[in-house]
């Protein structure tokens, strides 16, 4: 689902015009990025948490040149779904 499809779905459910929804979604994403950039986690009760995970330094391989490279320690954004959300997904989504 794309951002445009999300905007359309929310507009259909709420009756609010798409332009207002798009501004709200952009603002939400901006606040989320700012918080994560500061190292702050974002908790949405019943949905999940957006957190920063720290990755340790490690040695990798460049297979095409057959050399080793050092990958420095770094941080990556991550999403951890809530137990409620995970239970709903497990109940409704069938795996083929």
Pair 58, 77: CB distance under 8 Å = no
| Average pLDDT of every residue of the chain | 94
**pLDDT, tens digit, for every residue of 64-80?**
988 999 999 999 999 99
Task: Give whole-number Cα distances, 3 to 8, 26, 35, 37, 86, in Å.
Answer: 9, 10, 20, 22, 22
The stretch 4-11 carries a mean pLDDT of: 96
End-to-end CA distance of the chain: 20
53-86 CB burial, b ≥16 within 10 A, e <16 = eeeeeeeeeeeeeeeeeeeeeeeeeeeeeeeeee
Whether residue 35 has pLDDT greater than 90: yes
pTM of the model: 0.77
């Amino acid at each position: 689902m794309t951002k445009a499809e999300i905007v359309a779905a929310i507009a259909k459910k709420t009756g609010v015009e798409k332009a207002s929804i798009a501004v709200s979604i952009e603002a939400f994403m901006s606040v989320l990025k700012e918080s994560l950039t500061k190292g702050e986690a974002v908790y949405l009760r019943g949905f999940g948490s957006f957190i920063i995970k720290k990755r340790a330094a490690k040695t990798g391989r460049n297979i095409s040149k057959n050399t080793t490279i050092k990958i420095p320690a770094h941080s990556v954004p991550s999403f951890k779904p809530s137990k409620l959300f995970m239970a709903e997904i497990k109940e409704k989504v069938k795996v083929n």
